[in-house]
Amino acid sequence: MMKAVEGIYRNGKVELTEPLDAAEGSRVIVTCVLGAGPVDLQERGIDETQAADLRRRLGAFAEDWDRPEMAAYDELPSR
């Protein structure tokens, strides 16, 4: 099974945004998203606590969002 988790690369290490206790000792694939800076939470009208709560609540959908067939929605024109 695969699980996607966001993180930040600093000083030769990847800092994950959420723990992966069940994955201890597992192989990983790291894909760098260059040029993607931190999200300006204030610009979006939320603080760090609200962002963490949102990330936790939306985490239940991550497995569905990360399915290969969902990439078709990336091709849809924006409204």
Half-sphere exposure of 1 (CA within 13 A, CB side): 5
Which residue, 14, 40, 47, 39, is CA-closest to 28? 14
* pTM greater than 0.85: no
Any residues with CB less than 8 A from the CB of 14 and at least 6 apart, and which? Answer: 7, 8, 30
> What does the domain layout of the chain look like in residue ranges?
37-73
Q: What is the pLDDT of residues 5-64, one digit of tens each?
A: 888 888 888 888 888 877 788 888 888 877 667 888 998 899 999 999 998 999 888 888
